[in-house]
Amino acid sequence: MDRCTSCHTYERIAKSTYNADEFIKVLQRMATYAPGTTPLEPHKRKETRAVDGPGAVAPARGIPRQHQPERVETWDYPLKTLPRLKGRSTKVVFTEYDLPRPTAMPHDVILDGEGMAWYTDFGHQYLGKLDPKTGKVTEYTVPTLKADYPPGMLDIEIDKKGDLWIGMMLQAGIAKFDRKAETFTMYPLPQDINNPASQQAMVMPLSSDVGRQGLDEQRRHSGRASARARHHEVRDFCAVQEHAANRRAAASTGIKADSKNNLFFMDFSSEFIGRIDAKTGQTTFFKTPTPNSIRGAAASDPQDRLWFTEYRAEKIAMFDTKTDRFTEWSVPAYSWPYDVMPDKNGELWTAGMSNDRVVRLDPKSGQVTEYQFPRNTNVRRVWVDNSTTPVTFWVGGNHSASIVKVEPLD
C-alpha cells in the first residue's frame, strides 16, 4: 500500500464500495498501468506483472471492510487531521505558477544558472521551462523512442555546459536537450536490455563533458554511456541479492556521481546503497541503519557526502563517502519524503508525498519547521535556490499541474 500512496491518495480507498476479495482484483489491474497513469489518462504497460499471493492479499485484507454500498457515506472511525501549523511555520510566502495543461504532471523541477525553472512531465512527452519573473511557460515536445509505449519522464539533470538530461521511463532511454539550439539528442537503451519492462528513470550527467555519464535502468542494471559513441557498458547488480536478507532483485532509484566520478545508487528494494568505483568498476554495498527503509532520490554536496531520504522509515539520511558512515534524522509522521537537498546554510529541505508539507530540518539542533502547501501537490523532486537570502524552495505540483515556489521569511 505504501508504494501506491506515494502517487495516489487514500480517498478512493476510503470511499470504495469494494470488499477485500474485490480489492485483490483492483490491485492486479493497477499493476498493468504505467507510473504516469491518471484516472483521466490511463497508460497500459506492455509487459505483464503478476500481482498475486501475499503481495496482493495482505494489502487487500488490510483495507477496512465496512465500506459496502449501503454504508458509503458513513465510517466507523473518526476523521483525524494533522495539527494546524503555527509560529515559525506561518512565516512563509507561497507562489504557484499554473501550467498551461491541466493534466500536466511536473514530477521534477530544477533551476538553471539563469533562474529559469525546468520540469519534466511524468505522464506526457513534454519538457517545460518557466520564467518566474513573467510566469511565461514554454514547452518542448520530447521525441519518443517507443511510439506505442507509455509516455512520461522522471529525472531531469543539468550538466556543466548547462544542457539538460532526462530519464525517459518506459520509453527506455535518455534525452539530452541543448538549451541554446533547442534540440534533442536521443540515447535509447542498448538492444540486449531494451525489453518491454525496461525503465529509464534516472540520469547522472555530472561528467558528460568527458564523455561518460551514469545511467539507471531502474530494474537490475546500471551503466555508463559515452555521449559521443552512444555506447552503454551495462553492469548487472544481481549481487545485491546476496546482501539483501529478503533476496529481492535490486531496483535502483536515485543515482549520483561524486567528484571522482564514482557512481552511487539507491536500492529501492531494501536498505542498501551501492557504489561503483570509476577506475576499477568494482561494486560495493553499504547497509543503512534502518532496515527496509526504501530510499528515495539523492543529492551530493561539495564534501562528496550523499544525502537521501528513507521514505518508508520517515527519515532523512547522510552517507559520508570518506568514512562510509551513515547519519539519520527523523521527519514528522506521514511525510514519506521523496527527495532531500541541503542548502548553503547547512539546513536540509524535503517535502512529503502524502501530507503536502515542506520540511525544513536543522541537522545540528534537530529543529524541524513545516510549511503547509496551499493545495494537494504530491511532491517528488525538490530544489533549493541558494542565490536568494533566505534560500528559496521549489517543487512541482504533481497533482496540481503547477510549479510551486516557497519563500521562508527567515
For residue 310, give the 3-state DSSP assignment: strand
Q: Give residue 58's Cα distance to chain centre.
A: 26
Cβ neighbours of residue 166 closer than 8 Å, sequence gap 6 or more: 120, 127, 142, 153, 155, 156, 174, 175, 176, 177, 203
**pTM, 2 dp:** 0.87
Q: For 339-375, how does the pLDDT look when each residue is reduced to its tens digit (9 = 90+)?
A: 999 999 999 999 988 889 999 999 999 999 999 999 9
Residue 183 pLDDT more than 90?
Answer: yes
How do the domains of the chain map onto residue ranges?
Answer: 11-71, 91-408
Q: Find cell 512527452 and name the residue.
A: 125
Mean pLDDT of 153-174: 94
| 39 grid coordinates | 484516472
Q: What pLDDT, on a 0 to 100 scale, did the predictor assign at position 244?
A: 38
Q: What pLDDT, on a 0 to 100 scale, did the predictor assign at position 52?
A: 61
Q: Give residue 360's Cα distance to chain centre.
A: 18
Q: For 195-244, how does the pLDDT look when each residue is reduced to its tens digit (9 = 90+)?
A: 998 888 888 886 655 444 444 433 334 444 333 333 333 333 333 334 33
Residue 254 pLDDT more than 90?
Answer: no
Instruction: Please tell me the CATH code under which domain 91-408 is placed.
Output: 2.130.10.10
Closest listed residue to residue 2, CA positions, set 59, 52, 43: 59
Mean pLDDT of 295-313: 85
Mean pLDDT of 123-135: 97
